Amino acid sequence: MKGKPHASRVGMSANAFGGHARLDKLDLSGPSQVGGKLLNVASNIQPERLLWLTSIQDAVQNYLPWGLGSNGTDPEEFWYATQYLFHVRASKPETWQDTPRSVKQTYRDEAKGRRINRTVVYSDADLMFMCLDNLWDFLQFPVTLETFRADLMVERRGLIANNWDQVADYLGLPGTFERWEHALVGPTEPEEVDAILVHFNNKNRRAVARYQEAA
C-alpha cells in the first residue's frame, strides 16, 4: 500500500475482538474454532506441520479483528492476510510470482555461541508450497478450503456489521456498513484499504488538533 500506513498499536480498545477470545490464544494443534468452523486436527501433529498451521493462524488473526479497535492488528497485515487467505493460488503463478524472494533470518548457533544472520532465497517451488491451497492439501483438513474461506468471510462480515458503530467510530468512516463492506471484508485492491486509512488518519489528526487546542 502507498506509504505503508499503520494503525495505532497503543493500548487496547474495549471489545477489540468483537466479542471473540483473543485469536492468538487459539491452539491449532488440537480442535480449534477458526472462522466459525471446527477443524479437527490431530493433537500429536508433527512439528513441521504445526509450523504451517501457525502461519494460517497468523493470517486469520490479522484478518478477522482488524478495524474493530486498537487490538494489535494493522492495515498492511490485514491486506496481506486477505490476499493470502482468499486470492493467492499455487496454480496461478501470477498471484505469487511478484512476492519478494529473499528473506533475512537471524538465529542463534549454539555450537558457535553467537547469532547468525543469513538470507534465504525462495524458489518457485518454495513459494508454491507456501500457498494456502497447497498447504490445505498437505495438512489434510477435514473441510474443503472453499468452505473454510466462505465461513471465514461470513464471520468477518458478521463481526464488522454487528459492531458497525464501533468500527465506524474507530476508523472514522462516514456512511453505512454496506458502503464499506467490500473494502472491510474482501478487498481486491490495496487502494480500497488506503481509502479507509484516509478517513482513519484524518480522524486522528482532528483528535490531535483538539488535544493541542485544549492544552
Q: Could you report the per-residue pLDDT of 70-114, keeping only the tens digit for each?
A: 888 999 999 999 999 999 999 898 888 888 777 777 878 788 888
Out of 3-12, 93-102, 119-128, 170-179, pick the least confident. Answer: 3-12
Q: Angle at Cα 73 formed by Cα 67 and Cα 78, nearest 5°?
A: 75
At 160 the pLDDT is 95
10, pLDDT greater than 60: no
Q: How high is the mean pLDDT of the chain?
A: 80
Q: How confident is the model at residue 46 (pLDDT cuts 50, 70, 90)?
A: low
- Cell numbers 479483528 correspond to what residue? 65
| Region 191-195 average pLDDT | 95
- CA nearest to 2, candidates 151, 177, 195, 183: 195
In the block, cell 479437527 appears at 40
In the prediction, which pLDDT does 108 show? 81
Q: Is the pTM of this model over 0.85?
A: no
For residue 41, what are the CA distances in angstroms to 29, 38, 139?
6, 9, 9
